[in-house]
Amino acid sequence: MELVETRYEHVVLDERGVPIVAGTKTKVIELIVERMAYGWSPEELHYQHPYLSLGQIFSALAYYADHAEELDQAIANDFAAVEKMRKAAEPSPLVRKLKAKGLL
């Protein structure tokens, strides 16, 4: 995998230009989405991801702060793609069964 060094010590760009935490497979947007969804502090992100150092987490947050518009658009695109797949998916057998019994 080809990586491009950034000015953020713990953030590199993968071959597709996606920012990841150096030495891991953790995408910066994964940490940002968790922070948005749960309101987690850097310390809580560290608690939830003990394989990441606080330095790595702060570097990822700094990268986001400087690239928020671009990363927010990537997050919105990901959510839109998931919503499209969800709408196109057939109901699970359990959902069909519950609907047949009038429970949904």
Q: What is the pLDDT of residues 27-77, one digit of tens each?
A: 999 999 999 999 999 999 999 999 999 999 999 999 999 999 999 999 999
24 touches 10 (CB < 8 A): no
Range of the domain at 90: 4-100
Mean pLDDT, rounded, for 5-34: 93
The verdict on pTM exceeding 0.85 is: no
Total number of domains in the chain: 1
| C-alpha dist (Å) from residue 91 to 41, 47, 80, 87 | 37, 36, 19, 9
Could you read off the pLDDT of 65-78 as tens digits, one per residue? Answer: 999 999 999 999 99
Task: Return mean pLDDT, the chain.
Answer: 94
